[in-house]
Amino acid sequence: MSDNLYLAEGPHVGIRPFTPADAEEFTARAKESGALHHPWLFPPDDARAYATYASRLTEDRAKMGFLVCERMTTDGDEAGSGPIAGFININNIVGGAFRCGALGYGAFAHAAGRGLMSEGLGLVLRYAFGPLGLHRLEANIQPGNEASVALVRRAGFRLEGLSPDFLLIDGAWRDHERWAITAEMLDTP
């Protein structure tokens, strides 16, 4: 994959859409990351589930999915797409006067704690508030998911409250903290 397929890129990662060709790597990374994700998240870990998941992100106008990929230097300053570090999705995109979306995301185990998702989230925020024309993004996070809270805090999100019994996850309705950021809050150059 060439560098020009990135929607946005930073020094260490680029963001790009999901493709059918990513199924094998994505599902392998999801399997490797089961302990990291449990009990918060259950990304697709087989080809069939990935195909369904990726097609929803590419075909539904109310969703947009981004793979966060490491940029690998090949020689000089030229960089190409490296391993998938994680994913960030914008769900429930609403236009009009609302112009909002809800984030879902996950790092893969090999990339956790390396700052790659922080950089990727920054790229997604700039893309969402720029080319996508959104004004607000929300991240709903289960209490106790400290890594997820730390990620949105670093990005400048504010805690807005608690939503009891918010999402059905792993067979139970789970409470979630509501974190949000608006275009005005983003520290843009």
Output the DSSP codes for 15-79.
Answer: EE---GGGHHHHHHHHHHTHHHHTTT-----SHHHHHHHHHHHHH-TT-EEEEEEEEEEEETTEE
Rounded to an integer, what distance in angstroms lies between the CA atom of residue 119 and that of residue 36? 19
The model's pTM is 0.91
Mean pLDDT score, 119-132: 97
Contact criterion met (CB below 8 Å) for 32 and 110: yes
Residue 4: predicted pLDDT? 62
The answer to whether the beta carbons of residues 87 and 58 sit under 8 Å apart is no
Cα dist from 179 to 69, 127, 141, 152, 159, whole Å: 25, 19, 8, 8, 4
**Among candidates 103, 73, 74, which has minimal Cα distance to 87?**
103
Task: Single out the residue of 164, 168, 170 nearest to residue 39, CA to CA.
Answer: 170
pLDDT tens digits for range 13-35? 999 999 999 999 999 999 999 88
Looking at residue 186, what is its pLDDT? 86
Q: How many CB atoms lie within 10 A of CB 27?
A: 19
Instruction: Record the tokens describing residue 105, joined without a space.
Output: 């995301």
Q: What is the pLDDT of residue 189?
A: 45
Considering only 74-78, 93-97, 146-150, 153-157, which range has the smallest mean pLDDT? 74-78
What does the pLDDT look like over 58-107, one tens digit per residue?
A: 999 999 999 999 987 655 455 567 899 999 999 999 999 999 999 999 99
Q: Rounded distance, CA 101 to CA 94, Å?
A: 6
The answer, yes or no, to whether residue 188 has pLDDT greater than 90, is no
